[in-house]
Chains A and B, each alone.
Chain A
Amino acid sequence: MNPINDLLKILSDFVAGIVSGIFAFSPFLADLVTMGLAAVILCTFAALSFMGLTYVERKVVARIQDRLGPNQAGPFGLLQPIADGIKMFTKEDTTPANADRWVYNLAPLVIAIFALTTYAVLPFAPGVVGTNLNVGVFYLIAIGSGSIVAILMAGWGSNNKYALLGAFRTVAQLVGYEVPMLLNVLPVVMMAGSMSLVDIINKQTTLDGNPGIPFIVFFPLSALVFLISGIAETGRSPFDLLEAESEIVAGFHVEYSGMKFALFFLGEYVNALAVAFVFSTFFLGGYAGPILPPYVWLLLKAALIFFIFMWLRGTLPRIRIDQMHNLNWKFFVPVSIVHLVVVMALMKLFVTDPAQAEAFGGILVAPIVQAVILFVASMTVLLVSLAIAARRARVLRLQEEAILEQRRAENLAAARA
């Protein structure tokens, strides 16, 4: 073992060895303690990354908007997350008088739990994964739907009309964007032939462990739609309609203060980071990469995706609710279905596995050829659908302008008369 490349694996084996030495009398207890330790480490990692990310995001967005960002607490404002934490802890913990107490108080916990359980299946390095589920992809999608429940609980429990409105919006958005997300995970799952995240990464590496062709080359359209749906699923800007300050104050968490509010915040950031990790696993080859150790590669890829999130947040205004639903149901879903059918047909036609070619027919090609064919097909679907959408949008805009013009003329005529 290379001590630098396999640092995480060596450390985890070391800890597991100590634990099994202490609990030598009961292998079950040893397993339980090891898993508990792993869970604690994963949750701590997520919570610490939340602290760091709030600082980084504020700094980056400030740079984009030509501001300074936090710069008072410590050098370069580095202690800002700690100051924020102290502020959150010391704030008064309020509960609305007519709130449904149980539901109101449980909601932040549920959202944090569902956000943190995502990390159980993420592979951080070869052999370092909470649990290698054979239904890992399915698990991620299912856990994502759990946060809807928590937001509904918060919206209902607060007994506040803005909170309820925010919860309703959230459900419409989160349930809706699950559909394109699933439709665009399917090509990846079919290509890897497995729903296990480790298998998906292995499929993107060559047999001797070097990085192979990442799936973003095979399915650029899937990667794009997955990224945008991922942002919508975590409710980040420009899809932050669930907490639109100018319309519904703060949406579902308007009544929460102190640490409960912080838990909602943590849920948002931890979910966003999880989407970044999942995207790098599905489409960028996960921890596979040359020279640098695997965990560094994974962190770099996830950081790149998270930077794109921050970039979008700093540049794009919030989209309207009808635009959000139109984008999903009238663009993403049909395009994803067409893309899925095209990709499925091509994957059956051009195969790389000789055994499969013999059993089911199809043209045997090298992996790189298959990648080029799928890339061209995926890009064609993307560009054609964008062209159709652009033409349709132009027609609609012209119609709208014509109607406005007519109304203006009528008003003018009425004013003269």
Chain B
Amino acid sequence: MTVQQVLFIVISLVVLGAALFVVTTRNLFRAALMMMLAFFGIAGLFVLLEIGLFAVAQVLIYIGAISILVIFAVMLTRGMQGMVPRNSQAVGAAVTAAIIFAVLLLILGPLRVTIDLARWPVISLFAGNASPREVGGIAWTPADRAIPPVPETYIADFGRALVDLNQYLLPFLLIAFLVDVVLAGAIFIARQRRPAEVIEERRLRAEEDAEEAEAMRRASASPALPEGAVASAVDH
């Protein structure tokens, strides 16, 4: 075994162990910290693949931002220590995880499958003349094992791909737009209201409450009406 393989196994074990701890521990805060360790291990895997940019981005985004948010959410959860985890969705989660794993294995892994749509029961009606297509990633034969080295200019290539009209420009702009919308929404929610606005909001809320109270009073004050009248009123 080469050094890379040993490191890969060690890091994978750390990631898997941390992930297992996350889903089994009862202490939510420790679970969040262990999730961070798992993310850190994945950054280590990126380093092993010699793409430092993604490793650093993993640390910055997943540890520096997402995990911090998760920890905040956890700290604001009541009674988070020593509670008994109840999970009514365990079966569904397991099935979903298995399906995702199978799809990943199919796309990225050694499996290669020939999909012949023309022979599928219903689809054959619509796509009778479809040619069979081979799905699957890297061929897992020993000869192909040597991974081509990452080019020196991969950061520049990555940057150009993001602004290239034929590659990822549209998703990139969409994400930028989404972030803008989210920021605007956050500012709108957290903005400081003018006193006039606050008064108006309170007045509206008071009116709504009054109407509701009035409706309830009427409903409780008129039990003498026959059943049919209420039903017809609801129908109209």
Contacts and interface: CB of A to CB of B under 8 A. Distances in A.
A164 B56 CA distance: 28
Contacts of B52: 133-135, 139
A122 interface: no
B81 to A, nearest CB: 8
Nearest to A156: B29
Interface stretch (B59-67, B94-102, B116-124, B136-144): B59-67
A118 to B, nearest CB: 13
Interface stretch (A141-149, A210-218, A261-269, A389-397): A141-149
Interface in B85-109: none
Interface stretch (B9-17, B68-76, B171-179, B221-229): B68-76
A395 to B, nearest CB: 16
A146 B64 contact: yes
Contacts of B30: 100, 102-103
A153 B3 CA distance: 33
Contacts of A103: 29-30, 33
Contact of A152 (B56, B59, B68): B68
Given A103-B33, A153-B33, A145 B53 contact: no
A171 B68 contact: yes
Chain B's interface size range is 20 to 34
Interface string B30-68: 100100100000000000000011001101100111011
A133 B63 CA distance: 20
B155 interface: yes
Contact of A145 (B33, B65, B72): B65
A152 B30 CA distance: 12
Interface in A140-196: 141-143, 145-146, 148-149, 152-153, 156, 164, 171, 175, 178, 195
Given A102-B30, A138-B53, A152 B60 contact: no
A28 interface: yes
A139 B63 CA distance: 13
Contacts of B33: 103, 149, 153
A146 B67 CA distance: 11
B68 A148 contact: yes
Contacts of A164: 75
Interface in A321-379: none
A291 B60 CA distance: 40
Contacts of A195: 155
10 contacts: A100-B29, A102-B30, A138-B57, A138-B60, A142-B64, A143-B59, A145-B63, A146-B64, A164-B75, A175-B65
Interface of A: 28, 100, 102-103, 133-135, 138-139, 141-143, 145-146, 148-149, 152-153, 156, 164, 171, 175, 178, 195
